[in-house]
């Protein structure tokens, strides 16, 4: 298979300005601009990304209903974004909590994840991956998903340990 990564995602939102503010102020995306030709669209880039844009937002208007994906319709469950360090994950946990957008967290063994919802209720995941040289058999063999103890992970790996790449193998 020739595909090797996701280049960008596009979301339909009720209000572009509200969504831009959330993705910029809470998650740290850089606002690019929708341009005069698209007053109801915006494009954002992750801070260290080399993509033209990582996230496109297209406004539907306040009358748009909630997504039924996973409840009454098929559709995307969530997007997952990787952070560089465990400290970044901790900072985002604080920002998401302050914004009322943190809806969960989990320990998947090889990955440590936060789950949030944007202003339209669209779910996303923020993930930090254990670097391959620090991965243990216990991490790889963890049965199922457990509660994330972020303080314990920070004590174990440190705030500045760089995330692994891919599956850390």
Tell me the per-residue pLDDT of 33-65, one tens digit each, with 9 for 90 and over.
665 556 789 999 999 899 999 999 999 999 999
Would you say the C-alpha torsion 65, 67, 71, 75 has a positive or negative sign?
positive
Q: For residue 169, is pLDDT > 50? A: no
Buried b (16+ CB within 10 A) or exposed e, 3-12: eeeeeeeebe
pTM of the model: 0.90
Tell me the per-residue pLDDT of 98-112, one tens digit each, with 9 for 90 and over.
999 999 999 998 999
**Which pLDDT score is estimated for 4?**
76
């Amino acid at each position: 298979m020739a595909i090797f990564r996701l280049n960008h995602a596009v979301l339909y939102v009720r209000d572009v300005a509200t969504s831009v503010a959330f993705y910029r102020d809470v998650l740290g995306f850089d606002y690019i601009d929708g341009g005069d030709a698209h007053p109801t669209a915006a494009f954002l880039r992750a801070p260290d990304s080399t993509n033209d844009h990582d996230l496109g937002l297209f406004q539907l208007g306040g009358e748009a209903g909630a997504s039924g994906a996973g409840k009454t319709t098929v559709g995307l469950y969530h997007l997952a974004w990787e952070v560089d360090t465990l400290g970044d994950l901790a900072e985002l946990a604080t920002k998401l909590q302050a914004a009322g957008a943190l809806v969960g967290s989990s320990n998947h063994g090889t990955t440590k994840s936060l789950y949030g919802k944007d202003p339209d209720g669209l779910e996303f995941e923020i993930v930090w991956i254990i670097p391959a040289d620090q991965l243990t058999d216990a991490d790889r063999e963890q049965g199922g998903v457990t509660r994330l103890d972020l303080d314990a992970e920070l004590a174990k790996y440190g705030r500045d340990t760089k995330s692994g790449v891919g599956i850390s193998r």
